[in-house]
Structure 1
Amino acid sequence: MKGITLIELLVSISIIAVIATIFISAFSTFRENSQLSEAQSAIIGLLKDARSRTLSSQNKSNYGIHFETAKAVLFKGDIYNSADASNEPYFLPTAVQIGAINLTNGVVDTVFTRLLGTTTASGTVTISSKRTGGSFRVITILGTGNAQ
């Protein structure tokens, strides 16, 4: 007899389905980790930019970063004002969120001080995956104003 039996066809389809599932899972994890790393780098860059602007006395002002679940905002001055047109928001990738903000005194803003570049609130900001919640990156803001 020539041809393919139903059992051979089902076995082939099952093998292809298993391989596809493994591939899709691995790709999703890679994409998730890539977005987490991108968000971490962008927020650290935002913190460094705010500190640099403060140290250079740009516009004779302090600068800071305000954290929310879906974004981090570079702002001018000592207090965050959501209506200020000079705010520079960074929106996190869609699969990523700021899961925890653990700054001094429970605040969600950190402001850099002129001349020294120290910060008013040190601590950690945790970026996590919306999908699993298990993948995360931690950004540490030191009292000296450095971020890592």
Structure 2
Amino acid sequence: MRGVTLIELLVSIFIIAVVATIFMSAFSTFRENSQLTEAHSAIIGILKDARSRATSSQGKTTYGVHFETAKAVLFKGSTYSASDASNESYVLPAPVEISAISLTGGAADTIFSILGGTTTASGTVTLRSKKNTSKTRVITIFSTGTVE
């Protein structure tokens, strides 16, 4: 009859620990990328929604999007007011932030016109991972109002 030695048991535990560490590392990277991609898609959706509302003359007013480090806010009218009850906020997932807002004139808002959906501030908005700052996604807002 043969039993399991202590060395065999330790080697098995070591192998399981190494495999688990590799798995957790890969899962963490996958989750980080997923959250960055989700935030990128959500902000593009908010921008397109603001443009759509403006061009459809919903409420006969302009609509815009205000950017902050941790959120994007869809607002009604030509100026952003943090206290407006009609604002619709999208809070970014915790490991994602808006690292750069490079809009015309240094603006933090872009407003879409009623006719044509053109925007007052074109440029880029950069999202990045807080854990790995080299992972970024850039949103480009064109003066015509299109977003990519």
Pairwise TM-score range, normalised by the shorter structure: over 0.9
Q: Aligned-pair distance for 1:5?
A: 2.1
Question: Does 1:80 find its partner at 2:75?
Answer: no
Match of 2:143 in 1: 143
Name the CA distance, whole Å, in 1 between partners of 2:89 and 2:62.
Answer: 17
Any idea what SS the aligned residue of 1:43 has? helix
| Correspondence 1:108 to 2:116 | no
Aligned structure 1 segments of 4 or more residues deviating by more than 4 angstroms: none
SS in structure 2 at match of 1:97: strand
For residue 128 of structure 2, what is the aligned residue in structure 1? 128
Q: Distance in 2 between matches of 1:3 and 1:67?
A: 65
TM-score (norm 2): 0.95
Gapped regions of structure 2 (runs ≥ 5) = none
Q: Number of aligned pairs?
A: 148
Shift in Å, 1:94? 1.7
1:37 and 2:44 correspond: no
The residue number in structure 2 matching 1:66 is 66
The residue type paired with residue 49 of structure 2 is D
Kindly indicate whether residue 5 of structure 2 is the aligned counterpart of residue 5 of structure 1.
Answer: yes
| Matches of 1:18 and 1:104, distance apart in 2 | 50
CA distance in structure 1 between the partners assigned to 2:64 and 2:5 by the alignment: 68
Q: Which amino acid aligns with 1:70?
A: A
Matches of 1:137 and 1:21 in 2, distance apart?
28
State the percentage of identical aligned residues: 69
Q: Measure the CA separation in 2 of the matches of 1:9 and 1:124.
A: 56
Q: CA RMSD in A?
A: 1.2
- SS of residue in 1 equivalent to 2:90: strand
Distance (whole Å) between structure 1 residues aligned to residue 127 and residue 78 of structure 2: 25
Q: Secondary structure at the match of 2:100?
A: strand
Q: Distance in 2 between matches of 1:59 and 1:13?
A: 65
Output one character per residue of 1:42-81: Cα deviation in whole Å (capped at 9) or x when no partner: 1111000100111111111100000011110000111100
TM-score relative to the length of structure 1: 0.95
Q: Which runs of 5+ in 1 are unaligned?
A: none
**Alpha-carbon distance between aligned partners in 1 of 2:57 and 2:11, rounded to the nearest angstrom:** 69
**Separation in structure 2 between the aligned mates of residue 16 and residue 86 of structure 1, nearest angstrom:** 53
